[in-house]
Chain A
């Protein structure tokens, strides 16, 4: 019944890059952008939620649309995004690289609503309400410390509710609750605004589906039109309608700058529809396979930013393993297409079958590094640490890169800050100022130390100062959410938001948490040990010579730099001294962050992942005592400094496992790099499976990585055209190797080369 994916493919892969807008269907993107701006100015006195909803409505009602008759899903709306600039997989690593040999394409021009609402009000409101913090934030970013955010970029709608109620059902619920509260005389003014914003948004969505439906009538594809007509009036009932609903909803969220960062645990979520379709004979398994080809291909064609996450498996309330026949079907199609967008987040529990684990291992080994595996048990323990029991956390969904969130209950703001804590070492050396610019940030401490202990103490003073600075800044920003980025579409899916009449970001959720991430821990540990050795233990240089060496990026001190780089006492090799120091620093950070009350009635969560910020902030960070040169990336996640993991993946795992993972709440992936020859053949799949299981049994949180050798990367660097499809996993992101900057490529190659496993 459903067929033709491969026949239609030429019309699918580039459908976003070369759209075919029906020009009479609405305003072109430039006009629309201009008109929207005028519309916003005209309605500037409205409360922000209403302004937001009306702007959303204006956009959906007036943008050009398109039906691609070669596809089976409809969603296309002209927001002026330039997909040929690799919208999703932009070159996200260095923004101002000095390497001019690399052509820098920017990401997709920001869509219209983002530009007109979020960007504008984020700046305006902060400048007005918290001007000092706003400036401090810019300074912290400019000297490589990092930025404090209110994270509106990682959200999770309640997919159960979306599928249960459908678009018209969500609208009706909002209307009913508002009417009920109003007739009870209980409606507060801000609640009225809130409900109204949800209602306007969902009316806009239903009308938009009607537009798509009417457009689809121009083509003779009854099933297509039938699906859209159904969704205008009812919740989805078939697999086909479910997939259309999911794609459409995730697109609409993004248009509304509400950014849903997972499709949910889709093998569970979709399973009843799958069974019903097969049971009733409506569709065959092959039909559904074909639907998934179209479905997944769309994410890739749309180059969705940072790749669209979706989750698989998970523990049922009775604790049993949870792969099903749909899990395998999904993985089959995923493997067949070989894309990195969407990306898969597999919830692991020990009951998952070997068959499934080996299948997943096989995909990863084949190069689908876009799969990350997350350990349920570790996540449950993390939630327990902030007082949330297993009965509630059992239903968590990984979003973004791998971060767990309680669907329908928790807004975790999973990325409020990424802090480059190597700056605390730098400040302890300089007495509080940035080594490259001389700018003072924060407190003043002595500029010289007679003992290691004195220096070490100063390090913690700066560390605490930085954490407290971030907490303060985040708290102040998140209080402004309703003035900057209310989220009616998202909130409309959440039962508690609807009952309370409050937004997703402002009191609507049962748990409103915030998350601080610290990285460069390995650079920090290795640097502190280097200071101890060079200045205090072996006295190879004085403290002021160290300052001079770092200020001059080791010029004149090359030999000492080489010696310290060569020193084996480095974190990440299962060695006692550096690993112990890592534990101490880690515990210090988690003690200061985990469970700390935030400004939204929730608590702080802690993570140690960096995504690409280790490169971005590293670029602005001066030389460090571990021998690192200025501008090089600092260490990412809880990984060793790249090039310093000399004992292979098993040693790195054991170093990481020494840390108290319960503090991390799912926010720490181990990036493994394994040479393909080490995991060849059937034995290789078994070994990968055993390695994953062992790591998780010992409490590890998440695994992602690359089965790759340095030679093929070097080859790809020389002949990029031949290696367009070579995927690598970097931190929480996956990318085509050829899309990385030269500096990033080299960094990755260096890490791959050092992953020797012979000592």
Chain B
């Protein structure tokens, strides 16, 4: 059994596919999008986030950490990330809720138990479970096992992917995935490389492959002002060549996750751009619609 490394689970989620869903966020992503809202999901390694403001100086962490990553200096609590081996002990005892462990490992069976807790809400709403991240296909074997378990329980499954994966990984999960939520950021490859650090070739190719296989796809485009708002036309033209694109959803960029970067001591590269206004969103939706696509605003 392959263990999965997870960021967390979100229940009562309605934006990751149809109906009421539970979303499992997996850790690790091959892209480095500058606007990433989930920095805790980027690294495939475990991380402890420490929110200084919440620390009440109770000292519980110091007594449980055998790696001596927590200490008090001048009466103030200090956390030394370099010593930490991510055992999670301090997180469990922290009385200020200042510590969070991203990257807990769980087996597909354990995941199944957590993901089916809200099972009673799935049927009535047409919902189910969504695997997201990070990039879930970075842990394709875990996803494969988990999806199989979910399907045996008769649960609707969705995968939220950036598409940067090997074909063999897609093959592992495609049969047990009911719908793909597929992110497209740029059609222009140069820009793709500039803003995400990777080429978009496999992304485009994988989408074509999934389409040939006949799986329904909901494409999601983060709309970041001045960065990819010129991409609607080429993206639209490309998507129009595919057969199973059910929906294209535009997700306006909000600049609000900087505190997460600080808690993880990661460099914040969030672009300082305005959130697209309704007009910009409507325009972008209009362009996509002109290609015969079922485009909607994520705010709808």
* Chain A residues in the interface with B (C-beta under 8 A): 559, 562-563, 566, 574, 647-651, 654, 674, 678-684, 686-687, 690-691, 693-694, 697-698, 757-759
Bound: A457/B53 CA distance, A: 44
CB distance from A572 to the nearest CB of B (A): 14
- Count of interface residues, chain B, beta-carbon cutoff 8 Å: 26
Given A574-B117, A680-B14, A691-B121, 17 more pairs with CB closer than 8 A = A562-B95, A566-B95, A566-B97, A647-B11, A649-B12, A650-B118, A650-B121, A680-B15, A683-B18, A684-B14, A687-B19, A687-B127, A690-B20, A693-B124, A757-B10, A757-B11, A757-B13
Q: B9 interface residue, CB < 8 Å from A? A: yes
Whether B9 pairs with A650 at a CB distance below 8 angstroms is no
Whether B124 pairs with A694 at a CB distance below 8 angstroms is yes
The one of B12, B19, B126 in contact with A650, judged by C-beta atoms closer than 8 angstroms, is B12
Bound: A697/B14 CA distance, A: 20
Chain B residue nearest to A565 in the complex (CB): B95
Q: B266 interface residue, CB < 8 Å from A? A: no
Whether A683 pairs with B15 at a CB distance below 8 angstroms is yes
Q: B125 interface residue, CB < 8 Å from A? A: yes
Whether B20 pairs with A687 at a CB distance below 8 angstroms is yes
Bound: A315/B197 CA distance, A: 61
Q: B299 interface residue, CB < 8 Å from A? A: yes
Instruction: Supply 30 A–B pairs (Cβ within 8 Å), ascending by A.
Output: A562-B56, A648-B12, A649-B12, A650-B12, A650-B117, A650-B118, A654-B120, A674-B12, A678-B13, A679-B14, A680-B300, A683-B15, A683-B18, A683-B300, A684-B14, A687-B12, A687-B14, A687-B19, A687-B127, A690-B20, A690-B125, A690-B126, A691-B20, A691-B121, A691-B125, A693-B124, A694-B120, A757-B13, A758-B11, A759-B11
Residues of chain B from 3 to 26 with CB closer than 8 A to chain A in the complex: 8-15, 18-20
A686-B19, A686-B125 known; A680 and B12 CB under 8 Å? no
* Chain B residues in the interface with A (C-beta under 8 A): 8-15, 18-20, 56, 58, 95, 97, 114, 117-118, 120-121, 124-127, 299-300
Bound: A650/B23 CA distance, A: 14
CB distance from B252 to the nearest CB of A (A): 12
A559-B58, A687-B19, A690-B20 known; A650 and B125 CB under 8 Å? no
Bound: A678/B95 CA distance, A: 28
Query: Could you say which residues of chain A place their CB within 8 Å of the CB of B15?
Result: 680, 683
Query: Could you say which residues of chain B place their CB within 8 Å of the CB of A559?
Result: 58, 95
Bound: A563/B59 CA distance, A: 12
A679-B14, A683-B14 known; A758 and B58 CB under 8 Å? no
CB distance from A731 to the nearest CB of B (A): 22
Whether A651 pairs with B117 at a CB distance below 8 angstroms is yes
Chain B residue nearest to A650 in the complex (CB): B118
CB distance from A137 to the nearest CB of B (A): 42
Whether B8 pairs with A758 at a CB distance below 8 angstroms is yes
Whether B124 pairs with A697 at a CB distance below 8 angstroms is yes
Bound: A690/B300 CA distance, A: 18
Query: Could you say which residues of chain B place their CB within 8 Å of the CB of A681?
Result: 299-300
Bound: A409/B9 CA distance, A: 50
Bound: A758/B41 CA distance, A: 14
CB distance from B237 to the nearest CB of A (A): 27
CB distance from B43 to the nearest CB of A (A): 19
Query: Could you say which residues of chain B place their CB within 8 Å of the CB of A654?
Result: 117-118, 120
Bound: A684/B114 CA distance, A: 23
Bound: A758/B11 CA distance, A: 6
Whether B10 pairs with A758 at a CB distance below 8 angstroms is yes
Whether B12 pairs with A690 at a CB distance below 8 angstroms is no
Query: Could you say which residues of chain A place their CB within 8 Å of the CB of B11?
Result: 647-648, 650-651, 757-759
Chain A residue nearest to B23 in the complex (CB): A758
Whether A682 pairs with B300 at a CB distance below 8 angstroms is yes
Query: Could you say which residues of chain A place their CB within 8 Å of the CB of B117?
Result: 574, 650-651, 654
CB distance from A324 to the nearest CB of B (A): 25
Query: Could you say which residues of chain B place their CB within 8 Å of the CB of A697?
Result: 124
CB distance from A281 to the nearest CB of B (A): 41
The one of B8, B9, B120, B125 in contact with A698, judged by C-beta atoms closer than 8 angstroms, is B120
